[in-house]
Chains A and B, each alone.
Chain A
Amino acid sequence: MSELVDITVTVNGVAHARRVEPRLLLSDFLRHELGLTGAHVGCEHGVCGACTILLEGRSARSCLTLAVQADGLDVETVEAQGTVEALGRVQQAMRDHHGLQCGFCTPGMIMAITDMLRHHPLETDAQIRDALSGNICRCTGYEHIVDAVRELAKERGPLP
Protein backbone atom coordinates (compact mmCIF):
# COMPACT_ATOMS: atom_id res chain seq x y z
CA MET A 1 0.00 0.00 0.00
CA SER A 2 1.48 3.28 -1.08
CA GLU A 3 0.96 6.60 0.61
CA LEU A 4 -2.41 8.22 -0.08
CA VAL A 5 -2.49 11.54 -1.87
CA ASP A 6 -4.92 14.43 -1.40
CA ILE A 7 -6.24 15.68 -4.72
CA THR A 8 -8.84 18.13 -5.95
CA VAL A 9 -10.19 17.51 -9.42
CA THR A 10 -12.69 19.80 -11.10
CA VAL A 11 -15.16 17.66 -12.98
CA ASN A 12 -17.78 19.38 -15.13
CA GLY A 13 -17.19 22.61 -13.20
CA VAL A 14 -17.48 21.09 -9.72
CA ALA A 15 -14.38 20.68 -7.52
CA HIS A 16 -14.09 17.27 -5.83
CA ALA A 17 -11.55 16.72 -3.04
CA ARG A 18 -10.58 13.12 -2.31
CA ARG A 19 -7.74 11.12 -0.76
CA VAL A 20 -6.65 8.45 -3.22
CA GLU A 21 -4.03 5.82 -3.91
CA PRO A 22 -1.57 6.97 -6.61
CA ARG A 23 -2.42 3.90 -8.69
CA LEU A 24 -6.12 4.84 -8.96
CA LEU A 25 -6.98 5.36 -12.62
CA LEU A 26 -8.94 8.47 -13.53
CA SER A 27 -11.63 6.22 -15.06
CA ASP A 28 -12.09 4.46 -11.71
CA PHE A 29 -11.94 7.77 -9.83
CA LEU A 30 -14.81 9.12 -11.92
CA ARG A 31 -16.88 5.96 -11.70
CA HIS A 32 -16.22 4.69 -8.17
CA GLU A 33 -15.34 7.82 -6.19
CA LEU A 34 -17.66 10.29 -7.89
CA GLY A 35 -20.37 7.95 -9.18
CA LEU A 36 -20.03 9.36 -12.69
CA THR A 37 -20.47 6.18 -14.70
CA GLY A 38 -20.67 7.87 -18.10
CA ALA A 39 -17.03 7.16 -18.94
CA HIS A 40 -17.11 3.46 -19.77
CA VAL A 41 -14.30 1.03 -19.11
CA GLY A 42 -13.66 -1.24 -22.07
CA CYS A 43 -10.13 -2.41 -22.68
CA GLU A 44 -8.25 -0.56 -19.91
CA HIS A 45 -5.17 -0.20 -22.08
CA GLY A 46 -5.96 2.73 -24.30
CA VAL A 47 -7.19 0.95 -27.41
CA CYS A 48 -11.00 1.09 -27.40
CA GLY A 49 -11.72 4.74 -26.56
CA ALA A 50 -14.84 4.07 -24.44
CA CYS A 51 -13.31 5.88 -21.43
CA THR A 52 -12.46 9.07 -23.36
CA ILE A 53 -12.91 12.26 -21.36
CA LEU A 54 -11.59 15.78 -21.81
CA LEU A 55 -8.59 16.79 -19.72
CA GLU A 56 -7.90 20.52 -19.85
CA GLY A 57 -10.11 20.72 -22.93
CA ARG A 58 -8.52 17.95 -25.01
CA SER A 59 -9.58 14.34 -25.19
CA ALA A 60 -7.65 11.82 -23.11
CA ARG A 61 -7.99 8.14 -22.24
CA SER A 62 -9.12 8.17 -18.61
CA CYS A 63 -7.82 4.58 -18.28
CA LEU A 64 -4.31 5.78 -19.18
CA THR A 65 -4.47 8.73 -16.78
CA LEU A 66 -3.98 8.54 -13.04
CA ALA A 67 -6.41 10.41 -10.83
CA VAL A 68 -3.41 12.08 -9.13
CA GLN A 69 -2.35 13.48 -12.51
CA ALA A 70 -5.66 15.34 -12.74
CA ASP A 71 -5.11 17.13 -9.41
CA GLY A 72 -5.87 20.80 -9.95
CA LEU A 73 -7.00 20.23 -13.53
CA ASP A 74 -10.32 20.42 -15.37
CA VAL A 75 -12.05 17.26 -16.49
CA GLU A 76 -15.16 17.13 -18.66
CA THR A 77 -17.25 13.98 -18.93
CA VAL A 78 -20.31 13.01 -20.94
CA GLU A 79 -22.50 13.91 -17.94
CA ALA A 80 -21.94 17.60 -18.78
CA GLN A 81 -23.29 17.22 -22.30
CA GLY A 82 -27.01 17.13 -21.53
CA THR A 83 -29.81 15.27 -19.81
CA VAL A 84 -32.29 12.66 -20.97
CA GLU A 85 -34.88 15.43 -21.27
CA ALA A 86 -32.56 17.91 -22.94
CA LEU A 87 -29.84 16.21 -24.98
CA GLY A 88 -26.66 18.13 -25.78
CA ARG A 89 -26.01 19.06 -29.40
CA VAL A 90 -23.58 16.18 -30.03
CA GLN A 91 -25.91 13.71 -28.33
CA GLN A 92 -28.84 14.96 -30.42
CA ALA A 93 -26.88 14.61 -33.66
CA MET A 94 -25.87 11.05 -32.73
CA ARG A 95 -29.52 10.24 -32.02
CA ASP A 96 -30.80 11.90 -35.20
CA HIS A 97 -28.35 9.92 -37.35
CA HIS A 98 -28.68 6.60 -35.49
CA GLY A 99 -25.03 6.92 -34.47
CA LEU A 100 -25.46 4.31 -31.72
CA GLN A 101 -26.99 0.95 -31.08
CA CYS A 102 -25.83 -0.67 -27.85
CA GLY A 103 -24.38 2.62 -26.60
CA PHE A 104 -21.27 1.25 -24.94
CA CYS A 105 -18.84 3.28 -27.06
CA THR A 106 -21.10 6.34 -27.20
CA PRO A 107 -19.85 8.39 -24.21
CA GLY A 108 -16.28 8.06 -25.49
CA MET A 109 -17.40 8.87 -29.03
CA ILE A 110 -19.24 11.96 -27.80
CA MET A 111 -16.24 13.26 -25.88
CA ALA A 112 -13.90 12.58 -28.82
CA ILE A 113 -16.35 14.34 -31.15
CA THR A 114 -16.48 17.31 -28.74
CA ASP A 115 -12.67 17.54 -28.92
CA MET A 116 -12.53 17.26 -32.72
CA LEU A 117 -15.22 19.94 -33.14
CA ARG A 118 -13.10 22.30 -31.05
CA HIS A 119 -9.73 21.55 -32.60
CA HIS A 120 -9.91 19.77 -35.95
CA PRO A 121 -10.90 21.06 -39.40
CA LEU A 122 -13.20 18.10 -40.28
CA GLU A 123 -13.62 19.41 -43.82
CA THR A 124 -13.58 15.99 -45.47
CA ASP A 125 -14.90 12.55 -44.59
CA ALA A 126 -11.31 11.35 -44.53
CA GLN A 127 -10.50 13.88 -41.80
CA ILE A 128 -13.60 12.88 -39.85
CA ARG A 129 -12.78 9.18 -40.10
CA ASP A 130 -9.18 9.81 -39.09
CA ALA A 131 -10.31 11.78 -36.03
CA LEU A 132 -12.76 9.00 -35.08
CA SER A 133 -10.25 6.21 -35.65
CA GLY A 134 -9.23 5.95 -31.99
CA ASN A 135 -12.76 5.00 -30.89
CA ILE A 136 -14.00 1.51 -31.59
CA CYS A 137 -17.69 0.78 -32.25
CA ARG A 138 -18.79 -2.82 -32.83
CA CYS A 139 -22.43 -2.06 -33.75
CA THR A 140 -22.87 0.73 -36.22
CA GLY A 141 -20.20 0.21 -38.84
CA TYR A 142 -19.36 3.87 -38.22
CA GLU A 143 -21.29 5.26 -41.20
CA HIS A 144 -23.98 6.86 -39.05
CA ILE A 145 -21.42 8.28 -36.64
CA VAL A 146 -19.58 9.87 -39.58
CA ASP A 147 -22.95 11.29 -40.72
CA ALA A 148 -23.50 12.86 -37.30
CA VAL A 149 -20.02 14.41 -37.20
CA ARG A 150 -20.37 15.68 -40.76
CA GLU A 151 -23.55 17.53 -39.79
CA LEU A 152 -21.99 18.93 -36.61
CA ALA A 153 -18.89 20.10 -38.51
CA LYS A 154 -21.04 21.77 -41.16
CA GLU A 155 -23.06 23.50 -38.45
CA ARG A 156 -19.85 24.67 -36.75
CA GLY A 157 -18.24 25.96 -39.94
CA PRO A 158 -14.51 26.37 -40.53
CA LEU A 159 -12.21 26.72 -37.53
CA PRO A 160 -10.89 30.26 -36.91
Chain B
Amino acid sequence: MKPAPFAYVRAESVPHALEALSEAGDEAKVLAGGQSLMPMINFRLVKPSVLVDINRIPGLDVIEDLGLRLKLGALVRHWITASDARIAEHVPVLHETMKSVAHMTVRNRGTFCGSVSHNDPAAEMPMITLLLDGAVHIASPNGPRTLPAAEFLTGPLTTALEPGELVTAIEIDKLAPGAGWGFEEFSRRHGDFALAAVAAVLERREGRATEVRVAIMGVGDTALRLPQAEAILEGSDMSAAVVDAAVEAIRGSLDPRSDLSASSDYRRHLSGVLAARVLKAAWSRAEELA
Protein backbone atom coordinates (compact mmCIF):
# COMPACT_ATOMS: atom_id res chain seq x y z
CA MET B 1 0.00 0.00 0.00
CA LYS B 2 2.98 2.33 -0.41
CA PRO B 3 3.95 3.65 -3.83
CA ALA B 4 7.02 2.34 -5.62
CA PRO B 5 9.73 5.00 -5.98
CA PHE B 6 9.41 7.62 -8.69
CA ALA B 7 10.92 10.97 -9.58
CA TYR B 8 8.75 14.03 -9.16
CA VAL B 9 8.54 17.12 -11.35
CA ARG B 10 6.39 20.06 -10.38
CA ALA B 11 5.56 21.61 -13.74
CA GLU B 12 5.59 25.40 -13.80
CA SER B 13 3.96 25.68 -17.24
CA VAL B 14 2.52 23.53 -20.01
CA PRO B 15 5.82 23.58 -22.00
CA HIS B 16 7.68 22.57 -18.82
CA ALA B 17 5.25 19.66 -18.32
CA LEU B 18 5.70 18.56 -21.94
CA GLU B 19 9.47 18.69 -21.56
CA ALA B 20 9.34 16.51 -18.43
CA LEU B 21 6.91 14.09 -20.07
CA SER B 22 8.96 13.72 -23.24
CA GLU B 23 12.16 13.09 -21.29
CA ALA B 24 10.49 10.26 -19.38
CA GLY B 25 8.84 8.56 -22.37
CA ASP B 26 5.89 6.27 -21.74
CA GLU B 27 6.84 5.65 -18.10
CA ALA B 28 5.63 9.10 -17.04
CA LYS B 29 2.26 9.93 -15.53
CA VAL B 30 0.48 13.25 -15.19
CA LEU B 31 -0.78 14.09 -11.69
CA ALA B 32 -3.77 16.44 -11.50
CA GLY B 33 -6.45 15.69 -8.88
CA GLY B 34 -4.96 12.25 -8.29
CA GLN B 35 -8.20 10.71 -7.07
CA SER B 36 -7.97 7.79 -9.50
CA LEU B 37 -4.22 7.77 -10.16
CA MET B 38 -3.05 7.83 -6.55
CA PRO B 39 -5.01 4.71 -5.48
CA MET B 40 -3.48 2.87 -8.46
CA ILE B 41 -0.03 4.13 -7.48
CA ASN B 42 -0.59 3.11 -3.84
CA PHE B 43 -1.58 -0.38 -4.99
CA ARG B 44 1.42 -0.38 -7.37
CA LEU B 45 -0.91 -1.10 -10.26
CA VAL B 46 0.81 1.91 -11.78
CA LYS B 47 4.53 2.42 -11.31
CA PRO B 48 5.53 5.63 -13.07
CA SER B 49 9.22 6.49 -13.38
CA VAL B 50 8.30 10.17 -13.27
CA LEU B 51 5.23 11.87 -11.91
CA VAL B 52 4.59 15.24 -13.54
CA ASP B 53 2.49 17.34 -11.18
CA ILE B 54 0.47 19.96 -13.09
CA ASN B 55 -1.37 21.32 -10.03
CA ARG B 56 0.67 24.55 -9.88
CA ILE B 57 0.43 25.49 -13.55
CA PRO B 58 -1.34 28.87 -13.63
CA GLY B 59 -4.44 29.40 -15.76
CA LEU B 60 -5.62 25.79 -16.08
CA ASP B 61 -8.37 26.11 -13.44
CA VAL B 62 -10.58 28.29 -15.63
CA ILE B 63 -13.94 27.67 -17.30
CA GLU B 64 -14.07 29.71 -20.50
CA ASP B 65 -17.30 30.74 -22.26
CA LEU B 66 -16.87 30.22 -26.02
CA GLY B 67 -20.38 31.31 -26.93
CA LEU B 68 -22.02 28.04 -27.99
CA ARG B 69 -19.62 25.95 -25.93
CA LEU B 70 -17.85 25.97 -22.57
CA LYS B 71 -14.18 25.08 -22.23
CA LEU B 72 -13.02 23.51 -18.96
CA GLY B 73 -9.30 23.75 -18.18
CA ALA B 74 -7.28 20.79 -16.92
CA LEU B 75 -7.43 21.93 -13.28
CA VAL B 76 -11.18 22.60 -13.07
CA ARG B 77 -11.99 20.48 -10.04
CA HIS B 78 -15.33 18.71 -9.58
CA TRP B 79 -16.49 21.11 -6.87
CA ILE B 80 -15.96 24.01 -9.27
CA THR B 81 -17.88 22.27 -12.06
CA ALA B 82 -20.66 21.51 -9.56
CA SER B 83 -20.94 25.10 -8.33
CA ASP B 84 -20.27 27.11 -11.52
CA ALA B 85 -23.28 29.28 -12.41
CA ARG B 86 -22.65 29.10 -16.18
CA ILE B 87 -22.68 25.31 -16.09
CA ALA B 88 -25.88 25.33 -14.02
CA GLU B 89 -27.51 27.68 -16.55
CA HIS B 90 -26.19 26.39 -19.86
CA VAL B 91 -25.38 22.73 -19.15
CA PRO B 92 -27.96 21.69 -16.54
CA VAL B 93 -27.48 18.02 -17.45
CA LEU B 94 -23.87 18.30 -16.25
CA HIS B 95 -24.90 20.26 -13.15
CA GLU B 96 -27.29 17.43 -12.24
CA THR B 97 -24.73 14.74 -13.05
CA MET B 98 -22.20 16.28 -10.66
CA LYS B 99 -24.43 15.22 -7.75
CA SER B 100 -23.53 11.61 -8.55
CA VAL B 101 -19.77 12.15 -8.86
CA ALA B 102 -17.92 10.67 -5.89
CA HIS B 103 -18.01 12.34 -2.46
CA MET B 104 -17.29 15.83 -1.12
CA THR B 105 -13.62 15.30 -0.31
CA VAL B 106 -12.90 13.58 -3.63
CA ARG B 107 -14.77 16.34 -5.51
CA ASN B 108 -12.47 18.87 -3.83
CA ARG B 109 -9.47 17.43 -5.68
CA GLY B 110 -10.65 15.44 -8.71
CA THR B 111 -10.82 17.20 -12.07
CA PHE B 112 -13.14 17.07 -15.10
CA CYS B 113 -10.29 16.59 -17.58
CA GLY B 114 -8.59 14.04 -15.32
CA SER B 115 -11.71 11.91 -15.20
CA VAL B 116 -12.07 11.99 -18.99
CA SER B 117 -8.35 11.21 -19.44
CA HIS B 118 -8.59 8.30 -16.99
CA ASN B 119 -11.67 7.06 -18.90
CA ASP B 120 -13.12 4.68 -16.37
CA PRO B 121 -16.05 2.96 -18.14
CA ALA B 122 -18.26 3.74 -15.12
CA ALA B 123 -17.31 7.42 -14.68
CA GLU B 124 -19.72 10.21 -15.56
CA MET B 125 -17.44 12.82 -17.17
CA PRO B 126 -16.48 10.76 -20.24
CA MET B 127 -20.19 10.10 -20.86
CA ILE B 128 -21.07 13.80 -20.57
CA THR B 129 -18.20 14.74 -22.88
CA LEU B 130 -19.44 12.23 -25.44
CA LEU B 131 -23.08 13.33 -25.04
CA LEU B 132 -22.24 17.00 -25.58
CA ASP B 133 -19.98 16.39 -28.61
CA GLY B 134 -16.94 17.38 -26.60
CA ALA B 135 -13.51 18.12 -27.98
CA VAL B 136 -10.31 17.34 -26.12
CA HIS B 137 -7.51 19.90 -26.37
CA ILE B 138 -4.11 18.24 -26.24
CA ALA B 139 -0.70 19.82 -25.86
CA SER B 140 1.79 17.73 -27.76
CA PRO B 141 5.52 17.98 -28.51
CA ASN B 142 4.48 18.44 -32.17
CA GLY B 143 2.13 21.29 -31.36
CA PRO B 144 -1.43 21.40 -30.05
CA ARG B 145 -4.11 19.10 -31.44
CA THR B 146 -7.80 18.63 -30.77
CA LEU B 147 -9.71 15.34 -30.84
CA PRO B 148 -13.47 14.73 -30.79
CA ALA B 149 -14.52 12.85 -27.66
CA ALA B 150 -15.52 9.78 -29.68
CA GLU B 151 -11.98 9.48 -31.07
CA PHE B 152 -10.33 10.27 -27.73
CA LEU B 153 -12.17 7.65 -25.65
CA THR B 154 -10.81 4.43 -27.13
CA GLY B 155 -11.30 1.76 -24.46
CA PRO B 156 -11.45 0.94 -20.76
CA LEU B 157 -8.91 3.21 -18.99
CA THR B 158 -7.51 3.93 -22.44
CA THR B 159 -7.51 7.04 -24.61
CA ALA B 160 -5.88 8.29 -27.78
CA LEU B 161 -3.45 10.38 -25.71
CA GLU B 162 0.11 9.57 -26.82
CA PRO B 163 3.09 9.38 -24.44
CA GLY B 164 4.47 12.86 -23.94
CA GLU B 165 1.09 14.56 -24.40
CA LEU B 166 -1.06 16.47 -21.93
CA VAL B 167 -4.79 17.22 -21.95
CA THR B 168 -5.06 20.97 -21.35
CA ALA B 169 -8.83 21.51 -21.66
CA ILE B 170 -12.09 19.97 -22.83
CA GLU B 171 -14.90 21.86 -24.50
CA ILE B 172 -18.53 20.77 -24.49
CA ASP B 173 -21.74 22.08 -26.04
CA LYS B 174 -24.05 24.35 -24.13
CA LEU B 175 -27.65 23.18 -24.40
CA ALA B 176 -29.83 25.21 -26.77
CA PRO B 177 -32.33 27.46 -25.00
CA GLY B 178 -35.43 25.40 -24.23
CA ALA B 179 -33.65 22.07 -24.68
CA GLY B 180 -34.81 19.20 -22.49
CA TRP B 181 -32.43 16.90 -20.69
CA GLY B 182 -32.35 13.91 -18.38
CA PHE B 183 -29.83 12.00 -16.30
CA GLU B 184 -30.35 8.84 -14.26
CA GLU B 185 -27.80 6.70 -12.52
CA PHE B 186 -27.98 3.54 -10.46
CA SER B 187 -25.16 2.66 -8.08
CA ARG B 188 -24.96 0.44 -5.03
CA ARG B 189 -24.21 3.43 -2.82
CA HIS B 190 -24.76 7.06 -3.86
CA GLY B 191 -21.51 8.57 -5.14
CA ASP B 192 -19.91 5.22 -5.90
CA PHE B 193 -19.22 4.04 -9.43
CA ALA B 194 -22.41 3.38 -11.35
CA LEU B 195 -23.77 0.01 -12.43
CA ALA B 196 -25.26 2.03 -15.27
CA ALA B 197 -26.20 5.61 -16.06
CA VAL B 198 -27.93 7.27 -19.01
CA ALA B 199 -28.05 10.91 -20.11
CA ALA B 200 -29.97 12.56 -22.91
CA VAL B 201 -30.57 15.99 -24.42
CA LEU B 202 -33.11 16.96 -27.06
CA GLU B 203 -35.01 19.89 -28.47
CA ARG B 204 -38.72 20.15 -29.18
CA ARG B 205 -39.93 21.78 -32.40
CA GLU B 206 -43.59 21.74 -33.42
CA GLY B 207 -44.29 18.76 -31.22
CA ARG B 208 -41.36 16.76 -32.58
CA ALA B 209 -38.05 15.83 -30.95
CA THR B 210 -34.94 17.04 -32.73
CA GLU B 211 -31.21 17.10 -32.04
CA VAL B 212 -31.69 13.99 -29.89
CA ARG B 213 -28.54 12.78 -28.19
CA VAL B 214 -28.39 9.79 -25.85
CA ALA B 215 -25.35 8.38 -24.04
CA ILE B 216 -24.80 5.54 -21.59
CA MET B 217 -22.03 4.36 -19.28
CA GLY B 218 -21.16 1.40 -17.09
CA VAL B 219 -22.25 -1.15 -19.69
CA GLY B 220 -19.42 -1.13 -22.22
CA ASP B 221 -15.67 -0.70 -22.57
CA THR B 222 -16.21 3.06 -22.50
CA ALA B 223 -19.16 5.43 -22.33
CA LEU B 224 -21.22 5.08 -25.52
CA ARG B 225 -23.46 7.22 -27.68
CA LEU B 226 -26.56 5.33 -28.80
CA PRO B 227 -27.02 6.17 -32.50
CA GLN B 228 -29.80 3.61 -33.15
CA ALA B 229 -31.97 5.04 -30.38
CA GLU B 230 -31.14 8.58 -31.48
CA ALA B 231 -32.30 7.74 -35.02
CA ILE B 232 -35.59 6.25 -33.77
CA LEU B 233 -36.31 9.29 -31.59
CA GLU B 234 -35.20 12.01 -34.02
CA GLY B 235 -38.22 13.68 -35.59
CA SER B 236 -40.66 11.58 -33.52
CA ASP B 237 -43.50 12.70 -31.27
CA MET B 238 -41.87 10.88 -28.33
CA SER B 239 -44.98 8.75 -27.81
CA ALA B 240 -44.77 5.78 -25.44
CA ALA B 241 -44.48 3.42 -28.43
CA VAL B 242 -41.52 5.35 -29.85
CA VAL B 243 -39.73 5.46 -26.50
CA ASP B 244 -40.34 1.71 -26.08
CA ALA B 245 -38.84 1.09 -29.49
CA ALA B 246 -35.79 3.18 -28.58
CA VAL B 247 -35.41 1.33 -25.29
CA GLU B 248 -35.57 -2.03 -27.09
CA ALA B 249 -32.95 -0.80 -29.57
CA ILE B 250 -30.70 0.20 -26.67
CA ARG B 251 -31.08 -3.16 -24.94
CA GLY B 252 -30.43 -4.94 -28.22
CA SER B 253 -27.26 -2.97 -28.93
CA LEU B 254 -25.58 -3.59 -25.56
CA ASP B 255 -23.46 -6.49 -24.46
CA PRO B 256 -22.56 -5.60 -20.86
CA ARG B 257 -20.09 -7.62 -18.84
CA SER B 258 -21.09 -9.58 -15.77
CA ASP B 259 -19.12 -8.83 -12.65
CA LEU B 260 -19.36 -9.03 -8.87
CA SER B 261 -21.96 -6.24 -8.75
CA ALA B 262 -24.36 -7.21 -11.51
CA SER B 263 -24.93 -9.74 -14.27
CA SER B 264 -24.93 -8.85 -17.93
CA ASP B 265 -28.72 -9.38 -18.16
CA TYR B 266 -29.34 -7.21 -15.13
CA ARG B 267 -27.28 -4.39 -16.57
CA ARG B 268 -29.03 -4.65 -19.93
CA HIS B 269 -32.43 -4.50 -18.24
CA LEU B 270 -31.35 -1.62 -15.99
CA SER B 271 -30.07 0.32 -19.01
CA GLY B 272 -33.52 0.21 -20.58
CA VAL B 273 -35.26 1.26 -17.37
CA LEU B 274 -32.92 4.23 -16.91
CA ALA B 275 -33.15 5.19 -20.60
CA ALA B 276 -36.96 5.25 -20.49
CA ARG B 277 -36.91 7.52 -17.42
CA VAL B 278 -34.29 9.83 -18.92
CA LEU B 279 -36.12 10.18 -22.25
CA LYS B 280 -39.43 10.94 -20.53
CA ALA B 281 -37.75 13.50 -18.25
CA ALA B 282 -35.98 15.18 -21.18
CA TRP B 283 -39.18 15.41 -23.21
CA SER B 284 -41.29 16.80 -20.37
CA ARG B 285 -38.60 19.38 -19.55
CA ALA B 286 -38.62 20.45 -23.20
CA GLU B 287 -42.43 20.64 -23.09
CA GLU B 288 -42.34 22.83 -19.98
CA LEU B 289 -39.81 25.16 -21.55
CA ALA B 290 -41.61 25.36 -24.91
Number of A-B contacts (CB under 8 A): 98
The answer to whether B51 and A22 have CB atoms under 8 Å apart is yes
The answer to whether B5 and A2 have CB atoms under 8 Å apart is yes
Q: Which residue of B lies closest to A52 (CB)?
A: B105
Please give the distance in Å from A120's CB to the nearest CB on chain B.
7
Q: Which residue of A lies closest to B49 (CB)?
A: A2
Please give the distance in Å from A57's CB to the nearest CB on chain B.
10
The answer to whether A46 and B4 have CB atoms under 8 Å apart is no
Chain B interface size, as a band, is 20 to 34
Question: How many A residues touch B, CB cutoff 8 Å?
Answer: 34
The answer to whether A133 and B190 have CB atoms under 8 Å apart is yes
Interface residues of B in 98-151 (CB under 8 A from A): 99, 102-106, 108-109
Is the CB of B68 closer than 8 A to any CB of chain A? no
Please give the distance in Å from B132's CB to the nearest CB on chain A.
25
The chain B residues found within 8 Å of chain A, CB to CB, are: 1-8, 10, 31, 34-35, 38-39, 42-43, 51, 53, 55, 79, 99, 102-106, 108-109, 189-191
Contact sample, A vs B, 25 pairs, CB 8 Å cutoff: A1-B5, A2-B7, A2-B8, A22-B7, A22-B8, A23-B5, A25-B3, A44-B1, A45-B38, A45-B42, A49-B105, A61-B38, A61-B105, A64-B35, A64-B109, A65-B34, A66-B38, A68-B10, A115-B108, A116-B104, A130-B104, A133-B190, A134-B102, A134-B104, A135-B105
The chain A residues found within 8 Å of chain B, CB to CB, are: 1-3, 5, 21-23, 25, 28, 44-46, 49, 52, 58-61, 63-66, 68-69, 71, 112, 115-116, 120, 130-131, 133-135
